[in-house]
Amino acid sequence: MAHIDQVLGPADDTVTFFQPRAMVYVTMLWVTAAVWVTALALHVLLRLAIGDSLSAADIVTYAEVALIVPVVFAALILLLAWRRLGWLHSSMHGLDFAATGRKPVHLPWAGIATVALRHWGPFTELVVTPVAEDFATIGDAPGRRPRLRRRAGETSYLVDVGLMSPGPKVLLAELHRRLPSKV
């Protein structure tokens, strides 16, 4: 005969979603590089428009700056956010989450009205709308207050999930699996 714990399953069935640092770094690198190279190209075009000419040394300097600045800038951003990247835990106790640099929030499953994704790619956000603001418990961890969206009398919490592993669609499927059937 099976033991009762084996029949009911594990006491802690937490599923964790997190932002891998390497993925955050690479994403910050390409975004920073795109902005920086565009700014440098505009600077070069402005110089050429006013009649200035570029020497071989200028071209080498622009190439060096285009390669070095995004790498250093992305590394600095990652170092600043190293211990404060976003995460989400889904367990039988409810939903716990924190956006990057924000305080954690706990919501019991019965206290969640809706969950949805907005935007796309690395900019995807999870929108968690509680039944009432009283259901949410904000943790004491360091960081700024959670990101809120107030619309039509509802308050929703926003979590950056575009770079979370596994991906946002898996995260949303997990949340819908756990939510009471009213959603």
The one-digit pLDDT tens for each residue of the chain (183 residues) are 444 444 444 556 788 899 999 999 999 999 999 999 999 999 999 999 999 999 999 999 999 999 999 999 999 999 988 888 999 999 888 899 999 989 999 999 889 999 999 998 888 999 999 998 889 999 998 889 999 999 888 999 999 999 898 888 999 988 988 887 654
Which residue in 28, 19, 18 sits closest to 76, CA to CA?
28
What per-residue confidence (pLDDT) applies to 2? 43
Q: What's the pTM?
A: 0.74
Residues 123 and 165 in one domain: yes
Domain count, the chain: 2
The rounded distance, in Å, linking the Cα atoms of 105 and 160 is 14
pLDDT of residue 6: 44
Both 118 and 98 in one domain: the answer is yes
Domain that holds residue 133: 87-178
115 shares its domain with 59: no
The pLDDT value given to residue 4 = 41
Residue 99 sits in the same domain as residue 160: yes
Taking only Cα atoms into account, the Rg of the chain, rounded to an integer number of angstroms, comes to 22
Q: Are residue 96 and residue 166 in the same domain, yes or no?
A: yes
CB 139 within 8 A of CB 105: yes
Q: Are residues 97 and 159 in the same domain?
A: yes
